Amino acid sequence: MSLVPTGTLVAGAAAGGGAIAAFNIITLEHAEAVIAGAESVGSPVVLQISENAVKYRQGRLLPLAAAAAAAAAEAAVPVGLHLDHVKSPALLRQAAAAGFGSVMIDASHLPYAENLAATRDAAEWAHAHGLWIEAELGEVGGKGGAAPLDAHAPGARTDPEEARAFTAASGVDALAVAIGSVHAMTTRTGAVDHALLARLSAAVDVPLVLHGSSGLPDAELAAAVAGGIAKVNIGTALNVAMTDAIRAHLDAHPGAVDSRTYLSAGRAAMVRAAADLITALGAGRPAVAPAAV
């Protein structure tokens, strides 16, 4: 199996009317857990490292990227490696040498023309280096602890006609859309604007990406995939699972000092969370292994 290009996984999922799950990783335990969860349900998966995770790792991309690529190489399912929510051009340009198959340029906080200019520039660079690239139009709120945007605020939802023009003019391979989900929710009480998703799906030729998926219940995830989402980004749900398990372990074992004991509990909880979320994407989720590279 091993490390495969993200674009291959997204295209394979979309061709089958399904979606690939893409999980944000922060530690090696996250990467190990996501791969084990995907293996347990026989599904390809994407590991993604965000610019915020790189900041947490003291600004260094390579150590976690190399660990994730090594874990992917030994996986029993195809695994993609994606650099997520990148605002820094300098970080974006590290992706090719660091083993990533794809990147996301996130200029969605900028006015349309500036978002388009930054995205077009990033797409030219990415394609020149053999990378698949995702961009965002309309702003999925809640990034980096920011308060969620009002769902009716300008820019809080993606406009279908703008999305059509943006993808054509920028040359991106996939588009993250703002359709009601919000980043960093710790309860699964969110909802997707399915009517808007249907209009976007009809208007845009490239695969659509759902962000802030941790806050959506299983039925909303499956409906979003059925409605045209081809990549589902999930981060917070892993951290909720990990932290709850570690807290419970330490409450039950107040004398514990060996970090392997509580990290094992945290990792095991993330394995279950990843497997459950992949399963929640529905019957269309990819199970056939694409060719390894």
Provide the binding-site residues for ligand G3H, judged by CB under 6 A.
Answer: 24, 84-85, 183-185, 211-215, 233-237
User: Quick one: what does residue 213 bind among Zn ion, ligand G3H, none, with the CB cut-off 5 to 8 Å set by partner type?
Assistant: ligand G3H
Shortest approach of ligand G3H to residue 216 CB, angstroms? 9
Q: Which stretch binds Zn ion (CB under 5 A): 59-67, 226-234, 249-257, 280-288?
A: 226-234
Q: Out of 84, 106, 159, 173, pick the active-site residue.
A: 84
- The partner in contact with residue 44, picked from ligand G3H, Zn ion, none with C-beta cut-offs of 5 to 8 angstroms by kind, is none
CB of residue 224 to ligand G3H, shortest distance in Å? 13
The nearest distance, CB 209 to ligand G3H, in angstroms, is 8
Of the candidates 211, 249, 267, 285, which one interacts with Zn ion according to CB under 5 A? 211
Q: Select from ligand G3H, Zn ion, none the partner in contact with residue 201, using the beta carbon and a kind-dependent cut-off of 5 to 8 Å.
A: none
Q: Is 84 a catalytic residue?
A: yes
Contact positions with Zn ion (CB under 5 A) in 227-286: 233
| Count of residues in contact with Zn ion, rule CB under 5 A | 2
Nearer to ligand G3H, 107 or 185 (CB): 185
Chosen from Zn ion, ligand G3H, none, partner binding at 98 (C-beta under 5 to 8 Å by type): none
Query: What are the φ and ψ backbone dihedral angles of 39, each rounded to 5 degrees?
Result: -60, -35
**Closest separation between CB of residue 211 and Zn ion, Å?**
3
Q: Which residues lie near Zn ion (CB under 5 A)?
A: 211, 233
Residues labelled as active-site residues: 84
